[in-house]
Structures are given as structure tokens and as C-alpha cells.
Amino acid sequence: MATWSTATVQSRERFSYWREVVCQTVLSVSTEHPANGFSASIASRTFGNLRLASFESTSHGIVRNNCHVAAAPEASYLVSLQIRGRSNITQGEESFCLEPGEIAIVDSERPFRVGFPDSVHRILAIVPREMLSQRAPWMKDARSCRKLTLSGPYSDLARRHLVHLTRGDDDLSTSEAVLMVENLCNLLTLASAREVRPNSLAPELMMQSILTFCRQHLHNPELSPSLVASHLGISVRTLQLRFQQSGKSFGRWLLECRLEACGKDLKDPFKQGDSISTIAYRWGFNDLSHFNKAFRARFAMSPSQWRLGNQISSL
């Protein structure tokens, strides 16, 4: 973990030093000088394409304008977790105050301003744009910052992941770090899904949002049109219409996805110890007779024959 502190430079040089550090570790911005003395520190770490920074500072402000965006493009989202103090964030038509425990997502490709009226402690994740927009297609149409709901299991887990990833005393292996980053992006997607109004999305983006949620919950045997519609804030009729326009019903699409997932697990040599029933239940089936009939109709053989055939072909 790399660290910087204004305590290492003379008082008159601290603010210009801080601006250089922010531009180096986060992204290109201008800084608004505080009326009184200034002090700040930052600790930064990187996991693949994800950068994280935990910083503390006294009152000041930062601005990213059109010139910064044009001169130093950064295709990323800034995910900010407020630990202490307040952050006044403005982007596009949105403006809000971020309180301790709250998470905000800001688009680095659009101008924004963040003001810190008091001493502040924040954790910032610089997430490549594609890592979130592939999971949350509604992000592509968002033209301003957004604040995630404070309550709810997904926001709480996202907060814990952000804190855990910035701990300097925790040496994660490469595989552990990859999983943590993937989990963080998934949790942010689930948390932000409650903030979007799907009825305002273009039909293709709405369908992507529906499919993203469904794929993330294939394992839930209670997954249904009403559950999906309720979570995304749309009507069951709208959901069924989107599936109808895609050429498949919700039930047919869900069955095919679950069968494909089961077929993949049955072929996986690392899952040979899992029974067929375990795999079926894992992917949301709760009736083995129905699963066996559906599997045979899809693959023209029973699950056991499918598994045995793939074992032989791999020899």
C-alpha cells in the first residue's frame, strides 16, 4: 500500500502537494483552497484494474470540469463511501450531501464538484466503467451522480467490502482479490438497482436490467415474474411484454438458463463429487422428476448419461 501525507512538506506547499497527489492517485481535478490551514493523507492500493484510496483531510473542495475530462479522460466510476464528515456532491442535475455510511457513485467522464465543509474521511474505489456498466446497463444512461440507499443488505455488504479492500494489514492473494473485486461490483449493481426507475429506460436497457437480475438469482427457486418486477420497480405485465418481444416467455428463458448451468456443472471435473440432485437444487430446481424430464428434453439424454459421456470424452 502506497501512502502520502501533507505532514511531509512545509505548510505553504501542502495544498499544491495535495492536488498533485490526488491527480496522481485518483484523477485530474482542480482543488479549492480552504480559508484556514490544510492537512491531508491518503493510502492507495490497486487490485488489477481497480484502484482504491482511503483519505482523510481538513476542509477543501475538488472540481473536475470539461477541460479536465477532455485532457485526461478516465472511463471509470468513482464509488465513494463516507466514513466521517460530510461530502457535498454535485454532478449534472443532481446535488446531495453524503453522510457517514452512505455510498455515492460519480461518473468520471462528466464534470462534477465535491465540497468537504469539515474534516472528512472517505474511501474511494475507482472502478473501470465496463466493470459496472456490463452488470448494470442502466448506468450507461445516467448523466449525474447517484446516492445509494443506506438500508438494505447489498449496500451494507458493499460497505464492508470497501473497508476490507482498503485495509493495509490484509495481504490478499491474487485469486482472493479478484473474487473480492467481482463481489464488490455485483453488490454495487444490486444496491444501485433499487435506485433506478426501469420504466424510464430504453426497452433494450430495461431488458438487460431484467436479465442481469435474473442471472444473479438463478439459484433462487422462488424466482418469479412478480419477484423480479417488484425488485426492479416495474409491473409484471411490462416484464412479460419485454420477454415476449425477445421471443421467449419468462418461464422458458429461466428453464433454459438453469438447464445450461446444470449441464455446465455436470461437465466440470472439479464438481464430480457433487451429486446430480445437489447440482439441480443449486440452480433453483426443487423437483427432481421435473428436472430429469426437462434435462432429457434439452440434451436428448439423462443427466447421468450427460455426465458420463463428458467424462469419457475427456479421457
Measured at the alpha carbon of residue 289, what is the angle toward residues 285 and 295, in degrees to the nearest 5?
70
* Sequence ranges of the domains in the chain: 2-196, 200-313
Mean of pLDDT values over 64-84: 90
Q: Are strands 40-47 and 2-5 parallel, antiparallel or unpaired?
A: antiparallel
57 burial level (CB within 10 Å; 0-12, 13-18, 19+): buried
- How many angstroms separate the CA atoms of 36 and 27, rounded? 25
270 burial level (CB within 10 Å; 0-12, 13-18, 19+): exposed
Q: Are strands 87-91 and 112-116 parallel, antiparallel or unpaired?
A: antiparallel
Check pLDDT > 90 for residue 288. Answer: yes
Mean of pLDDT values over 88-108: 93
CATH topology classification for 2-196: Jelly Rolls (2.60.120)
Query: Which residues, in sequence order, are CB contacts of 173 under 8 Å at separation 6+?
Result: none
Give residue 105's Cα distance to chain centre. Answer: 10
Instruction: Give the tens place of pLDDT for each residue, 234-275.
Output: 889 989 999 998 899 999 999 999 999 999 999 998 899 999
Of 180 and 246, the structure prediction assigns the larger pLDDT to 246
- Give the pLDDT of residue 188: 85
Instruction: Give the tens place of pLDDT for each residue, 191-229.
Output: 776 665 555 555 766 787 788 889 889 999 999 999 998
Rama region for 110: left / alpha / beta (φ>0; ψ in -120 to 50; rest)? beta
* 161: confidence class by pLDDT, cuts 50, 70, 90: confident
37 burial level (CB within 10 Å; 0-12, 13-18, 19+): exposed
Mean of pLDDT values over 72-91: 92
- Give the pLDDT of residue 1: 81
- Give the pLDDT of residue 195: 62
1.10.10.60, 3.90.700.10, 3.20.20.140, 3.40.47.10: CATH of 200-313: 1.10.10.60
Alpha-carbon distances of 144 from 30, 50, 112, rounded to whole Å = 19, 21, 9
Check pLDDT > 70 for residue 67. Answer: yes
Check pLDDT > 90 for residue 140. Answer: no
The model's pTM is 0.65
- Give the pLDDT of residue 154: 76
Of 214 and 190, the structure prediction assigns the larger pLDDT to 214
Instruction: Give the tens place of pLDDT for each residue, 2-38.
Output: 999 999 999 889 999 999 999 988 999 999 887 778 9
Can you list the pairs that 177-181 forms with residues at least 24 positions away whose Cβ atoms lie under 8 Å?
Answer: 177/47, 177/48, 178/47, 178/48, 180/47, 181/47, 181/48, 181/50, 181/131
Q: Share the mean pLDDT of the chain.
A: 87
Query: Among residues of the chain, what percentage have pLDDT more than 90?
Result: 53
* 312: confidence class by pLDDT, cuts 50, 70, 90: low
Cell of 232: 426492479
- Give the pLDDT of residue 39: 94
